[in-house]
Amino acid sequence: ETGVTQSPTHLIKTRGQQVTLRCSSQSGHNTVSWYQQALGQGPQFIFQYYREEENGRGNFPPRFSGLQFPNYSSELNVNALELDDSALYLCASSLQGGLTYEQYFGPGTRLTVT
């Protein structure tokens, strides 16, 4: 069974640029959620994708957008980067309609905006 993987591991971008982060979900999972974890804080829910559509969104502006592909992998796109976007971005996969409720997290992508 393959776990959740994310790429890249680290990324440095300049304010105003755009970035794309990638996530491959765990085998058998059909739902992907993205979280932002600022330094010293708990993860904050950005949005969730199920069947290639957004299935819930947290308190993040529209410049945060995502995609889910037929193989359930996902992308997180952030436009017009701001310094406060510097954080660890975590992807989590889960099975909607399944009997368990936990989400399985990837190792994260560390984004630094300068």
Partner 1 sequence: AQSVTQLGSHVSVSEGALVLLRCNYSSSVPPYLFWYVQYPNQGLQLLLKYTSAATLVKGINGFEAEFKKSETSFHLTKPSAHMSDAAEYFCAVTPGYSSASKIIFGSGTRLSIRP
Helix/strand/coil percent split, the chain, to 5: 5, 50, 45
Q: For binding to partner 1 (CB under 8 A), which residues are involved? A: 4, 6, 31, 33, 35, 40-45, 48, 50, 55-56, 58, 90, 92, 94-108, 110
- CA 54 to chain CA centroid, nearest Å: 12
Smallest distance from partner 1 to CB 26, Å: 12
Pick between residue 5 and residue 20 the one whose CB is nearest to partner 1. 5
Question: Is residue 72 within 8 Å of residue 92, measured between CB atoms?
Answer: no
Smallest distance from partner 1 to CB 94, Å: 5
